[in-house]
Amino acid sequence: MAKRIIISGGGTGGHIFPAIAIANALKRLDPATEILFVGANGRMEMEKVPAAGYKIVGLDIQGFQRKSLLKNLKLPFKVVASLMKARAVIRNFKPDAAVGVGGYASGPLLLAAGNMSVPYLIQEQNSYAGMTNKWLGKKAEKVCVAFSGMDQFFPAGKILMTGNPIRKEAVEVSGKRAEALASFGLSADKKTVLVTGGSLGAGTLNKSMLAELDLFAKEDVQLIWQTGKFYYKSILEKTQGRLPANVRIVEFLNRMDLAYAAADVIVSRAGAGTIAELCVVAKPVILVPSPNVAEDHQTQNAMALVKRNAAVLIADHEAEGTLGSLAVSLIRDEQKSRELQANIASLALPDADDVIAKEVLIIAK
């Protein structure tokens, strides 16, 4: 008999992509599986999930607003309304199991599931669990994690090391170096740094590249610089007339596999999903954790790699004026690069989506 599964959460691409990857894996394992997503109204999952071919129901829920305390006056009412709607969704859909990937909608849905005797699984992406997941973890059947040491947040017997689901097409880099460099109009005889701040971009990474742009021409090191849509036009204006011939500025990387394949060193933020991809790609990495995330979890994610000599970390407030120099020095240090490559490759867990999907179907029984 076909299983019915609810997948809840979202808010950012880092939550939505793993959720969709788990859904796809469930469909591969059993095409008859019925899947319903539950997200937060007004968040990007309400657009991305239907685009991936799945139905989604929205809850009117928000997080705690640190910048506008007035908006928090509605929060208790929204929580109660979301819990009531989550219960209604569960009654109507009659799921065999639920999955929470984090994000605003995950809390009310899993709380309702637990109260209605629906078994659920938590997919904790970060190395530092938030308060909601720690609380929900007590009733979870399984907690799928991507970092060691998570027994400080969850009951040890419920933890399963699966890694984070990744975009398979983004990490297929083998044998693509020549094609990749040609696609950017770069030379195969020179070393290349990739700087990526995600689809929206990262202000610190962009300021850091601007500050040391001339260094790449001076050191004869190529640069693929993904700015993000918020910064692209202003970066083009600021670099007009002074852009070295070996630097490529792009707003968005449609072919992440080619960007990764072209790179000898990668500079990135430290989101859990990004780190999961970088482990599979296995290139020397410099991580600049974003300071603008809850509980500073990007620093925790990065440190999990640094402790294994699998990445280099530079703090956000130290990056401007030094990040470019650090990338160039790492590209010149072949021994250090080889060590980082070997160590980050040893942390790769490329089949997380399938492993998690199998666990979901087990608890659904």
Partners of residue 241 on adjacent β-strands: none
**Confidence at residue 202, expressed as pLDDT on a 0 to 100 scale:** 85
pLDDT grade for 348, boundaries at 50, 70 and 90: very high
* Per-residue pLDDT tens digits for 297-315: 899 999 999 999 999 999 9
- Give binding residues as ranges: 12-14, 126, 167, 199, 298
Average pLDDT over every residue of 33-38: 97
Q: Are 233 and 219 in contact (CB under 8 A)?
A: no
Distances (CA, A) of 83 to 80, 136, 191, 201: 5, 14, 53, 34
* pLDDT at residue 233 tops 80: yes
- Over its C-alpha atoms, the chain yields an Rg (Å, rounded) of 21
Q: Which residue has the higher pLDDT, 83 or 209?
A: 209
Q: In the CATH scheme, what architecture does the domain 169-345 have?
A: 3-Layer(aba) Sandwich (3.40)
The model's pTM: 0.88
pLDDT grade for 73, boundaries at 50, 70 and 90: low
For 4-165+351-364, which CATH superfamily applies?
Glycogen Phosphorylase B; (3.40.50.2000)
**Confidence at residue 189, expressed as pLDDT on a 0 to 100 scale:** 96
- Give binding residues for UDP-N-acetyl-alpha-D-glucosamine as ranges: 12-14, 126, 167, 199, 298
Average pLDDT over every residue of 215-237: 94
Sheet holding 159-161, edge to edge: 55-59, 34-40, 4-8, 97-100, 120-124, 142-145, 159-161
Distances (CA, A) of 307 to 84, 153, 338: 44, 19, 16
Q: Mean pLDDT over all residues of the chain?
A: 91
* pLDDT at residue 71 tops 70: no
DSSP state of 36: E
Q: Are 188 and 214 in contact (CB under 8 A)?
A: no
**Confidence at residue 130, expressed as pLDDT on a 0 to 100 scale:** 83
pLDDT grade for 338, boundaries at 50, 70 and 90: very high
Partners of residue 249 on adjacent β-strands: 225
Partners of residue 56 on adjacent β-strands: 37
**Confidence at residue 21, expressed as pLDDT on a 0 to 100 scale:** 93
DSSP state of 62: -
Residue ranges of the chain assigned to CATH 3.40.50.2000: 4-165+351-364, 169-345
**Confidence at residue 237, expressed as pLDDT on a 0 to 100 scale:** 93
**Confidence at residue 74, expressed as pLDDT on a 0 to 100 scale:** 63
Average pLDDT over every residue of 21-38: 96
**Confidence at residue 103, expressed as pLDDT on a 0 to 100 scale:** 79
- Two structure tokens written together for 198: 């995600």
* Per-residue pLDDT tens digits for 75-134: 566 667 788 999 999 999 999 999 999 877 899 999 999 999 999 999 999 888 888 899
**Confidence at residue 76, expressed as pLDDT on a 0 to 100 scale:** 64
Q: Are 87 and 113 in contact (CB under 8 A)?
A: no
pLDDT grade for 66, boundaries at 50, 70 and 90: low
